[in-house]
């Protein structure tokens, strides 16, 4: 009952300020519209599996051209593979951005003047990475003619046959997980730990000292109220984003349940993190500075806007430990990978451990003194 009392009081106070709540919904939706039409940039380091079933001169020329792309612009990182089944498994697990299959008669078909094709299988969940990968492969094909100039009159046309393994996801739709995570972070900025800082600044916190409320009561009550508000705002952003972009949830009831679990764990974890960081702060200015700093180091390395493969090594280390990275990856798996709950499993586990750990830290560091 003590925790519920804190929860009710904190929730009532936030509901009296609807403008702040409205901004937590409006700003991510504006990001969805603006970022979807403005962000462009080169992509590097995309992992590409290569299944070469032909060792002929044209196949070797194609692989040489791809190696030139790898060591030149750096769009791809090549991973030779022996069979297509392993390549498809790595693609579905997210270890590859795509894989290329050079069929057994590729070189001989071109030598006879016939049309020849290579198969390119794309993880099209990330529309930007998929387009960059396809462009790199198509751009490598003309280089095949140079080392075999004596066959030029007889060469047939070489083609790439791209095959997307998931339903098409355009760039606007791919940003939906990003703006949902942004909405959750913004909710954690206006609720949870920020409310405690304002209580201390306004002197309200002193009233807690005359009550039997424990640190656990205060922390769980504030976290519960912040979770309710943030879940509502992020859900509005999620369904509005899907409506705007034409996206949908795959996997039936299990998909919806997993989506809710990811939202809930991300919300609770980020709220607990903010409370742990601000547990002893006493001025709202500190909250503003830290919130802006945390937004930069959590959102941009999360892979929400660009593939993690394009990041330098030190930034990928940050991304692995970033809860927003795992939230974005889990949401993408549920929304865009046909409700692939297995692909989201390890990310959900990380979010659960993070939420429990941050809650323990928040309760321990909460200041219940003047």
The fourth-level CATH superfamily of domain 46-164 is: abc type-2 transporter like domain (3.40.1710.10)
| Three-state SS at 117 | strand
pLDDT for 155: 36
Express each pLDDT in 162-173 by its tens digit.
Answer: 666 677 777 778
Express each pLDDT in 301-332 by its tens digit.
Answer: 888 877 777 777 888 888 899 999 999 999 98
Distance CA 71, CA 2 (A): 63
Is the pLDDT confidence value at 35 over 80?
no
Query: In the chain, pLDDT over 90 holds for what percent of residues?
Result: 13
The phi, psi pair for 21, rounded to 5°, reads -65, -40
Is the pLDDT confidence value at 73 over 50?
yes
Distance CA 166, CA 321 (A): 27
Q: What angle do CA 275, 278, 282 make, to 5 degrees?
A: 135
Top pLDDT among 171 and 206 is at 171
pLDDT grade for 16, boundaries at 50, 70 and 90 = low
Where along the chain do its domains lie? 2-39+171-365, 46-164
Beta strands in the chain (DSSP E): 46-52, 76-81, 98-102, 116-122, 158-164
Cα 131 to the chain's mean position, in Å? 18
pLDDT grade for 356, boundaries at 50, 70 and 90 = very high
Distance CA 153, CA 241 (A): 53
Question: Which one-letter DSSP state was computed for residue 254?
Answer: H
Distance CA 176, CA 179 (A): 5
pLDDT grade for 279, boundaries at 50, 70 and 90 = confident
| Three-state SS at 251 | coil
Is the pLDDT confidence value at 225 over 70?
yes
For 52, left (φ over 0), alpha (ψ -120 to 50), or beta? beta
Q: Look-up: residue for tokens 């972070």?
A: 185
Q: What angle do CA 151, 103, 106 make, to 5 degrees?
A: 10
H-helix or E-strand containing 258?
helix 252-278
């Amino acid at each position: 009952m003590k925790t519920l009392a804190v929860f009710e009081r904190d929730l009532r106070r936030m509901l009296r300020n609807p403008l702040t709540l409205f901004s937590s919904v409006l700003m991510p939706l504006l990001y969805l519209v603006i970022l979807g039409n403005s962000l462009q940039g080169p992509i590097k380091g995309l992992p590409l599996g290569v299944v070469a079933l032909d060792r002929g001169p044209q196949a070797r020329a194609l692989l040489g051209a791809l190696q030139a792309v790898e060591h030149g612009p750096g769009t791809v990182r090549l991973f030779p593979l022996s069979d297509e089944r392993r390549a498809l498994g790595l693609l579905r697990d997210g270890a590859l951005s795509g894989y290329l299959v050079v069929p057994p008669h590729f070189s001989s078909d071109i030598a006879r003047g016939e049309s020849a094709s290579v198969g390119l299988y794309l993880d099209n969940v990330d529309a930007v990475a998929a387009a960059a990968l396809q462009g790199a492969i198509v751009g490598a094909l003309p280089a095949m003619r140079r080392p075999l100039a004596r066959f030029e009159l007889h060469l047939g046309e070489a083609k790439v046959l791209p095959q997307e393994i998931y339903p098409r996801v355009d760039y606007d739709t791919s940003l939906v997980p990003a703006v949902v995570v942004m909405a959750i972070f913004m909710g954690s900025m206006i609720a949870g730990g920020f409310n405690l800082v304002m209580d201390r600044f306004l002197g309200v916190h002193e009233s807690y000292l005359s009550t039997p409320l424990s640190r656990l009561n205060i922390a769980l009550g504030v976290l519960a109220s912040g979770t309710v508000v943030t879940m509502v705002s992020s859900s509005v952003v999620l369904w509005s984003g899907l409506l705007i972009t034409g996206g949908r949830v795959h996997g039936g009831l299990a998909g919806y349940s997993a989506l809710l679990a990811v939202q809930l764990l991300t919300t609770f974890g980020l709220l607990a993190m903010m409370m742990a960081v601000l547990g002893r702060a006493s001025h709202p200015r500190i909250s503003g500075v830290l919130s802006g700093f945390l937004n930069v180091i959590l959102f941009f390395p999360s892979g929400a806007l660009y593939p993690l493969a394009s990041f330098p090594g030190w930034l990928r280390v940050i991304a692995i430990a970033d809860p927003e990275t795992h939230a974005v990856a889990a949401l993408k798996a549920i929304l865009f990978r046909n409700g692939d709950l297995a692909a989201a499993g390890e990310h959900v586990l990380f979010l659960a451990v993070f939420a429990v750990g941050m809650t323990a830290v928040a309760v321990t560091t909460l200041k219940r003194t003047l």
